[in-house]
Structure 1
């Protein structure tokens, strides 16, 4: 065992011991974080607008600070983009994480000098928890590959701006960077397909021991490794022992990914978001991820069925129940207040607090990290119907196909037409171009050849009515979900597809 692996065990024991202390007093820990946040942001524009000087507990906070999404927070972000300081958090953000917006184009999520450690330390601590639990630190003595977005940053309003994965890449510790792959130049490549080819070229002869990335991207890399070598991944990288992932549900990919490797290896699930690093898997044999209560984020939880109420219940960590869906709300030292990140979570343990991500507040597709929402597919369909005169749509539903019989993965649109377009392929092409315009993540996946363009499957007359009847949901207030992140609707609809 090398020096780095040996030292990591000592550091891991220290980190786990430190976390055990706040895990033993979760409510007190969150109360401390809450007070620190209020005190430090008291004189910001947001703090003055919401009378932070009068807030001394969660009850008064709830009265003064409403739940917000990005659109509601945008006036404050616009002030930051205008070059102003002390808006959401003291000073100016250290970075802006650029993400795909749903109604206003790109979103700019602030990352402050205080909050950057949340993103970096939590990722590090996830690995150290694994080292402490399993005793396996040998992966640190070999090469580590991080499949991520480009680390190239632009400057917006004098603030370095880019995707979160690119920002994080600039903070990889020196002790890991010397073994990090791919090269910086390759990592900066924008064309994903060409980038993967170059990564394969750089790594195929190396002693790869850890790989981190979103499952479909990792699968693409593995496929190219096998195509190039003619071998299973385990034969190319015999010391590969750890897979770290986050961002999408791993289960649809598990069988194929481990099949490509040729064996099962340990894995660590992460729950990172541009708004903050929320949780990570701290135990190999326990379900759920450990909620990070001591990293500058004060959490609130709204029962999912109350989310759209005028005055929903807002709970703190000590008030949540097991096996109940909550909308996750964060208040952070990046300057996000009463901020809904759109996820729903469920606690599977309260000692310590571990959770699983159960979905989004609204129907969505994010099998590949694309975050497609209902508004986008409806706008795309509206545009196509307007363009192809005479076309009439009865109903439609969209689902991903992660493992098609041939070709790249794709989105499948199951559409029942009253009047079908004369050229269904042209109709589908227009839908796909609209989706690329409406959703930058989807555009990136198409351009990077992670996904192929969508397909429209024309259904027989009465298909959705028959389907809803078959599941006992015909009539009343029941609606066909426009989006599903799984195949629960798509697979039964296959029997209704016209030849």
Structure 2
């Protein structure tokens, strides 16, 4: 065992002890975070305007600070972007993570001296947690690849701007830099197709042991390698043993991954966002990711089916229940206050608190009142793929409200790597699964308001071409699982598979 492996095991044991300390005291951990946030921000512009000096408990905080989204905080963010100090958090932000908002154009999410370590520590602790549980340390001696955005940053008013993954690249520990791939120069390539080819060239002869990235883009990388070498990934990289991912559910991709790799490998799911690193998978055989309750983020939750009411009830960590779809609201040490991240989550456990990401509050299909969410369609397509031995590259769902004939329906746009032997049975399995999970959808089908879903096949690489046409190919960009209108559906029509 190398010195690096011995050191990793020691750090993993220390990390596990610290994690147990706060996760076994979740309510107190959140109370400490809350008090620290209020105390540090009371002299900021936001803190003064919302009387943080008078906030001594959570109830007062609720009364004095409204739940917000980016648009509500935009005036404060714009002042901070202009270089003003003490606006949302003491001093100036170190960085702004630039994200592409769907309704409000570019968003600039602040990252501060206090919040930045949370992103770095969480990613490190996720790997240390895996090492502590499994004892596997061999990957630390090999090469590691991270498919991510460009690390090149812009600068304005003394603050750096860039994509979160590019910002985080500047904080990779020195002991990992020698093993980390691709090269800095390759990571700065903006064109995804050019970049992925260069990554293949750099990595195909290396001892790759850990690979990280959004599943759909890692799958593309694997497919290029397999086609080029006519070998499985495990033959090209015999020591590859760990896949780290976040951003989308891995399950719809798992069967194709395992076929490309040629064996089953361990994986770690992460829940990072520009607004904070919220959770990571801490156990290999337990459903859900450990919610980070001591990382400078105070959490609140609203039931998703009550979110659009005028005065929905808001819950803190001590009041949440498992298997309920919640909208997640955060306040953090980057200066986001009662901020709607836009994600919906479900708790799979409250001892400790573990979550799954169930979707986006704006990404659902409810044209008929059914409110189908991402978790439901992902579970349905996973069940159908496994049962009928199909392989899915990508998919999305949209309502068809005004069909040329017959009842309205849900239209599933699916790009198959391998089609099921019997498409009608495949569709029936999806239909049964969604109906079982969503009583509203079931009632609409039973009541002849909707007819059974329709599958529209997308041509090979059609989703990639669709994303390329929108200027969103590669990096952290991903396909919304659901839409409540036909905008994406109409844009996908040129990429549908032509009838034989």
The bucket for the TM-score relative to the shorter chain is 0.7 to 0.9
Alignment partners' CA distance in 2, 1:441 and 1:251: 27
Alignment partners' CA distance in 1, 2:270 and 2:469: 20
Alignment partners' CA distance in 2, 1:239 and 1:484: 44
For structure 1, the 5+ residue unaligned runs are: 379-390, 407-431, 453-479
Partner of 1:147: 147
Tell me the number of residue pairs that the alignment of Structure 1 and Structure 2 aligns: 417
Q: Deviations over 1:292-346 (max 9, x none)?
A: 0011000001111121122221111111111111100000000000000111111
Alignment partners' CA distance in 1, 2:262 and 2:66: 51
Question: Is the Cα contact below 8 Å between 2:83 and 2:159 reproduced in 1?
Answer: no
Partner of 1:116: 116
Partner of 1:443: 471
Alignment of 1:382-397 (within 5 A): none
Q: 1:87 to 1:372 in 2, by over 3 A?
A: farther
| TM-score normalised according to structure 2 size | 0.77
Q: 1:373 to 1:274 in 2, by over 3 A?
A: farther
Q: 1:397 to 1:201 in 2, by over 3 A?
A: same
Question: Is the Cα contact below 8 Å between 1:100 and 1:441 reproduced in 2?
Answer: no
Question: Is the Cα contact below 8 Å between 1:364 and 1:485 reproduced in 2?
Answer: no
Alignment partners' CA distance in 2, 1:104 and 1:451: 18
Alignment partners' CA distance in 2, 1:444 and 1:224: 20
Alignment partners' CA distance in 2, 1:363 and 1:398: 15
For structure 2, the 5+ residue unaligned runs are: 366-373, 379-391, 420-462
Aligned to 1:443, the other structure's residue is in SS state: coil
Alignment partners' CA distance in 2, 1:269 and 1:223: 22
Are 2:168 and 1:168 aligned? Answer: yes
Partner of 1:278: 278
Partner of 1:58: 58
Are 2:416 and 1:403 aligned? Answer: yes
Alignment partners' CA distance in 1, 2:75 and 2:395: 23
| TM-score normalised according to structure 1 size | 0.77
Question: Is the Cα contact below 8 Å between 1:363 and 1:484 reproduced in 2?
Answer: no
The Cα shift of 1:104 comes to 2.6
Are 2:329 and 1:301 aligned? Answer: no
Q: 1:154 to 1:183 in 2, by over 3 A?
A: same
Alignment partners' CA distance in 2, 1:8 and 1:349: 28
Partner of 2:2: 2
Alignment partners' CA distance in 1, 2:94 and 2:224: 37
Partner of 1:216: 216
Alignment of 1:238-249 (within 5 A): 238-249=238-249
Partner of 1:250: 250
Q: Deviations over 1:334-366 (max 9, x none)?
A: 000000011111111111000111111122599
Alignment of 1:353-392 (within 5 A): 353-363=353-363
Alignment partners' CA distance in 1, 2:204 and 2:82: 47
Question: Is the Cα contact below 8 Å between 1:70 and 1:107 reproduced in 2?
Answer: yes
Q: 1:226 to 1:373 in 2, by over 3 A?
A: closer
Alignment partners' CA distance in 1, 2:46 and 2:415: 43
Q: 1:444 to 1:481 in 2, by over 3 A?
A: closer
Partner of 2:69: 69
Partner of 2:382: none
Q: 1:309 to 1:441 in 2, by over 3 A?
A: farther
The Cα shift of 1:257 comes to 1.1
Alignment partners' CA distance in 1, 2:254 and 2:51: 49
Question: Is the Cα contact below 8 Å between 2:330 and 2:339 reproduced in 1?
Answer: yes
The Cα shift of 1:222 comes to 0.4
Aligned to 2:151, the other structure's residue is in SS state: coil
Aligned to 2:315, the other structure's residue is in SS state: coil
Alignment of 1:416-495 (within 5 A): 442-445=470-473, 481-482=484-485
Partner of 2:333: 333
Question: Is the Cα contact below 8 Å between 2:396 and 2:414 reproduced in 1?
Answer: no
Q: 1:108 to 1:402 in 2, by over 3 A?
A: farther
Q: 1:81 to 1:70 in 2, by over 3 A?
A: same
The Cα shift of 1:395 comes to 8.0
Q: Deviations over 1:449-499 (max 9, x none)?
A: x999xxxxxxxxxxxxxxxxxxxxxxxxxxx9437999xxx9xxx9xx999
Q: Deviations over 1:388-432 (max 9, x none)?
A: xxx9xx9897755343569xxxxxxxxxxxxxxxxxxxxxxxxx9
